[in-house]
Structure 1
Amino acid sequence: MTTREEARALVLRMQECFNTRRFDEAAGLFTPGFFSHPLGATGFAAGRDAWRQVVARFPDMRVVADDILVDGDRVAVRSSVTGLGGTPPTLIEIFRIDDGRLAEAWGVTEGPDPRT
């Protein structure tokens, strides 16, 4: 079982990899069967590709956790997104953790969606 502190640190490490553009380093944070519900894809590669596409469009984009709530094997994160110009969106994500790694993700964006 992953502790609350470990779950929180895992999410912060993922955001750090995104913000520093060290996408390949993030691969170890995800299980081999990681499933992204927003992307409808299995495996970290789809998420890494999505990250690359969004930062190609918004090179100054950063994601910063404002709230991290942990309940058992679930972590809910409300994050601020900056570097997009205009009104910044809020990102809400829920992750399921398995054996200390991110196994599943759900997410919604409130406000302008950087993917569009």
Structure 2
Amino acid sequence: MTTENKAIVERALTGLLETGDVGALAPFLSDDFVHHRPGGITSTRQEWLALVRDALVPLAGMRVEILRLLADGDHVVMHSRRRLPGGPEITVVDIWRLDAGLISEAWEIIEPDAQAAANLTWWDPAYQ
């Protein structure tokens, strides 16, 4: 199951990145898919696909370097570095939960690399 889930996530993301079309991603998402972002922001399947579709033009030419793709049971974790041509570099951790061969839930954490050093001391009162 772990290997199969990892392959499903790889196919979904490869299809999206190669075609630039959310239509390549949609068949891999369950009807009740939920996407989570920090701050309690959640999106339904349709809302998230619309957000991805709207981001495809500004993100055209983005380089995605997958650093790690790990799977454990029904979860797949991807650690990647992404960069727009001439733009900032970000580090992203995506966590995908699969159910019955479809991606049913996702969490995404994005950190601009330029802010990484400051985030190492988030607990320091001087930082707040």
Instruction: Tell me the TM-score range normalised by the shorter chain.
Output: 0.7 to 0.9
Question: Quick check: which has more Rg, 1 or 2?
Answer: 2
Maintained 8 Å contact 2:64/2:83? yes
How many Å apart are 1:73 and its aligned residue? Answer: 0.9
How many Å apart are 1:55 and its aligned residue? Answer: 2.0
Q: Structure 1 length normalisation: TM-score?
A: 0.82
Q: Structure 2 length normalisation: TM-score?
A: 0.75
Which stretches in structure 2 are left out of the alignment for 5+ residues?
Answer: 114-128
Number of residue-to-residue matches in the alignment: 109
From 9, 12, 17, the equivalent of 1:11 is 9
- Give the match for residue 22 of structure 2: 23
Q: Which digits, 9 at most, give the CA deviation of each residue in 1:56-112, with x for residues without a partner?
A: 222212434221111111111101213353331111011111011100011101116
Q: In angstroms, what is the RMSD of aligned CA positions?
A: 1.8
C-alpha distance 82-100 of structure 1, shift in aligned 2 (>3 A): same
Maintained 8 Å contact 1:37/1:106? yes
Which stretches in structure 1 are left out of the alignment for 5+ residues?
Answer: none
Maintained 8 Å contact 2:91/2:111? yes
- Give the match for residue 60 of structure 1: 61
Structure number with higher relative contact order (C-alpha < 8 Å, ≥ 6 residues apart): 1
Q: What percentage of aligned pairs have identical amino acids?
A: 28
Maintained 8 Å contact 2:96/2:104? yes
C-alpha distance 97-69 of structure 1, shift in aligned 2 (>3 A): same
C-alpha distance 18-25 of structure 1, shift in aligned 2 (>3 A): closer
Maintained 8 Å contact 1:67/1:77? yes
